[in-house]
């Protein structure tokens, strides 16, 4: 009797630990009584000022403080902003993980990097399947997105149904012919949905997001017109896009090579699962690209965001061992330009333009890229189907979530009582008396250094201070002639807190030679690109100093143009 009374008085808590008011780090907990489930555990890539940080993940203090109540981790799909923090969460909590086959295959890749694969409980589910987790029943529902096997989840709780869309768009003609399951959404809407949590990434875009098939005519035109080599950069997780490129290559008599570690690994995973179909006699080894006739080759490359050492960036500065683009080749950027990455991407495209290639990117009709997120009319369609009592936008910056909330408010459908625009750390509480904002929970960002789960850094300032205190500071100063791109003199190296001048004179002389050698071995085009040269100098000098001293000073190359 006491147990029944406790459950009747318990409240449902919605606890965002990341991903609200920001892009990335998507992670949300649902709690009812003594049961907690977690939906997604994503990462975000660091801002430029977070030097030395590889990735940023949510702080999991709330979950670790309540570890005995956490029943499972539910994954909606396999993008890094939804699964990138899984190894770090599982290093803290021994809980089962549920997701579709492709999603968990991508998680396995990450867990293998952290040598955790043998110690985790991964459970493959199919859309339409239900899982019992404490007082929750979770059903996976098929949605369309820019990645394979994305799912929404409907969570039946003791006081009603919560629907979490994950990332989605309503694609009427997906390339794999697996449609968005509007019927199940409508079914739940008829039965009654307590709360809808819905993707807001494109809430400020009017109309409908174009189907993935919309890029086919433009890609077909490119294959038809290209007289020489075709180089396409897209996200390695965009298997739909890659499948279209493979099919077009077969039609136009071209062989396809994959360049970049993530591109090779993810396409291999998709192929092994039977989700990527490679036509017979189409695949080309990277080392055979240069020996093939240029009009018989298509190369698919990772590195769409202009990351300095990615395959796409290295090809752009003619520093890739397997591919050297030439005048008349066609280079296509078939991906979104993520806000904040514009400089790096356009710098890379400028390098390609200097090589006199046919450069294709950006907005055009027909498009060379379409978004994977729902625009305003699709968001309204989902709201109309689900007709929730309460609505809370998720996934996006605050302005997008606020816009999504206004879409719901302006629809005036019967049954909507209230919308809530929350930020990470703010909570929503629902019981039989209604819904309201609850108490805040501890949240934050954890910076990850060197890709190991041992090197958590809770605050960037603490990380920098600790780094400087333990290993010191090395400042290579290089003066480069703006006309010739050559160094004016031997590089100078300034150190603080790393090694004394008396002890380090020989070491510093050798370090100067390392920097000079890096400059000499770089092409004139690389020397003209400060971002590339800073990364190369930092990597080479870090390798030398770590080997020579077993220490890892903070290295900040300074390039002066004279």
pLDDT digits (tens, 9 = 90+) for 129-141: 999 999 999 999 9
Which CATH number is 463's domain given?
3.10.20.580
The tokens of 349 are what?
């495209």
pLDDT band at 49 (very low <50, low <70, confident <90, very high): low
Task: Please say if the pLDDT value at position 4 is more than 50.
Answer: no
| Residue at token pair 């009654």 | 192
- Distance CA(557)–CA(473), nearest Å, equals 11
> In 3D, which of 68, 77, 73, 101 has the Cα closest to residue 86?
73
Q: 3-state class of 31 per DSSP?
A: strand
Give the residue from 400, 428, 448 where a domain finishes. 448
* Among 250, 336, 262, residue whose Cα is nearest residue 296: 250
The answer to whether residue 176 is domain-embedded is: yes
Domain range for residue 312? 212-360
Q: Has residue 300 been placed in a domain? A: yes
Structure confidence at residue 229 as a pLDDT band (50, 70, 90) = very high
Name the band, by pLDDT with cuts 50, 70 and 90, for residue 82.
very high
Closest CA to 533 of 373, 308, 237, 360: 308
Q: In terms of domains, do 50 and 112 share one? A: yes
Q: What is the mean pLDDT of residues 357-369?
A: 89
Is 118 part of a structural domain of the chain? yes
> Residue 3 — pLDDT band, cuts 50, 70, 90?
very low
Predicted pLDDT at 139: 98
Q: How many other CB atoms sit within 10 Å of the CB of residue 68?
A: 7
Number of domains within the chain = 3
416 in any annotated domain = yes
Rounded CA-CA distance 263/238 in Å is 10
In a domain, 271, yes or no: yes
> DSSP letter at 144?
B
**Same domain, yes or no, for 377 and 318?**
no
Q: Are 116 and 88 in contact (CB under 8 A)?
A: no
Residue 501 pLDDT class (50, 70, 90 cuts) = low
Q: Say if CB 185 and CB 382 are below 8 A apart.
A: yes
pLDDT at 174 over 80: yes
Active-site residue numbers?
199, 373
The stretch 37-43 carries a mean pLDDT of: 97
Domain boundary among 448, 474, 502: 448
Q: Is residue 1 part of a domain?
A: no
Q: What is the pLDDT of residues 268-279, one digit of tens each?
A: 999 999 999 999
Domain assignment of residue 454, yes or no: no
Q: Quick one: residue 331, left, alpha or beta (phi over 0 = left, psi -120 to 50 = alpha)?
A: beta
- Whether residues 527 and 424 share a domain: the answer is no
Distance CA 147, CA 133 (A): 26
Distance between CA 262 and CA 267 in Å, rounded? 8
């Amino acid at each position: 009797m006491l147990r029944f009374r406790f459950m009747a008085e318990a409240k449902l808590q919605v606890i965002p630990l990341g991903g609200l008011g920001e892009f990335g780090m998507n992670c949300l907990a649902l709690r009812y009584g003594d049961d907690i489930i977690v939906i997604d555990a994503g990462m975000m890539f660091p801002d430029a000022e977070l030097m030395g940080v590889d990735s940023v993940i949510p702080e999991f203090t709330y979950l670790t403080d309540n570890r005995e109540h956490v029943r499972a981790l539910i994954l909606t799909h396999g993008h890094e902003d939804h699964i990138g923090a899984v190894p770090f969460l599982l290093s803290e909590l021994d809980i089962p993980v549920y997701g579709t086959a492709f999603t968990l295959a991508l998680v396995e890749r990450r867990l293998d990097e952290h040598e955790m694969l043998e110690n985790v409980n991964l459970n493959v589910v199919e859309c339409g399947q239900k899982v019992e987790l404490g007082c929750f029943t979770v059903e996976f529902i098929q949605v369309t997105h820019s990645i394979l096997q994305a799912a929404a989840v409907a969570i039946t709780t003791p006081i009603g149904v919560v629907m979490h869309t994950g990332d989605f768009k309503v694609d009427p003609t997906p390339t794999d012919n697996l449609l968005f399951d509007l019927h199940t959404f409508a079914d739940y809407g008829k039965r009654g949905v307590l709360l809808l949590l819905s993707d807001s990434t494109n809430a400020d875009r009017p109309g409908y997001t174009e189907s993935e098939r919309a890029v086919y005519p433009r890609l077909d035109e490119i294959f038809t017109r290209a007289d020489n080599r075709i180089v396409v950069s897209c996200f390695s997780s965009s298997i739909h896009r890659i499948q279209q490129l493979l099919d077009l290559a077969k039609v136009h008599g071209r062989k396809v090579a994959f360049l970049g570690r993530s591109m090779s690994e993810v396409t291999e995973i998709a192929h092994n699962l039977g989700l990527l179909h490679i036509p017979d006699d189409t695949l080309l080894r990277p080392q055979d690209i240069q020996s093939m006739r240029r009009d018989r080759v298509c190369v698919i490359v990772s590195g769409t965001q202009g990351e300095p050492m990615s395959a796409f960036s290295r090809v752009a500065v003619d520093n890739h061992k397997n591919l050297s683009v030439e005048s008349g080749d066609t280079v296509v950027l078939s991906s979104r330009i993520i806000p904040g990455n514009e400089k790096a991407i356009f710098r890379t495209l400028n390098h390609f333009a200097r090589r006199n290639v046919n450069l294709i990117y950006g907005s055009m009709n027909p498009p060379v890229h379409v978004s994977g997120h729902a625009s305003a009319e699709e968001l309204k369609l989902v709201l109309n189907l689900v007709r929730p009592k309460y609505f809370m936008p998720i996934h996006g910056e605050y302005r997008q979530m606020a816009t999504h909330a206004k879409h719901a408010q302006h629809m005036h459908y019967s049954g909507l009582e209230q919308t809530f625009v929350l930020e990470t750390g703010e909570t929503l509480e629902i019981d039989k008396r209604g819904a309201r904002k609850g108490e805040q929970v501890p949240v934050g960002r954890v910076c990850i250094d060197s890709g190991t789960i041992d090197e958590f850094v809770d605050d960037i300032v603490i990380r920098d201070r600790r780094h400087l205190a333990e290993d010191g500071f090395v400042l290579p100063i290089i003066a480069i002639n703006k006309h010739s791109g050559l160094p004016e003199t031997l590089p100078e190296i300034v150190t603080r807190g790393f090694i004394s001048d008396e002890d380090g004179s020989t070491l510093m002389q050798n370090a100067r030679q390392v920097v000079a050698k890096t400059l000499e071995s770089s092409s004139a085009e690389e020397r003209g690109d400060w971002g590339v040269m800073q990364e190369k100098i930092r990597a080479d000098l870090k390798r030398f100093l770590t080997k020579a001293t077993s220490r890892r000073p903070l290295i900040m190359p300074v390039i002066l143009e004279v």
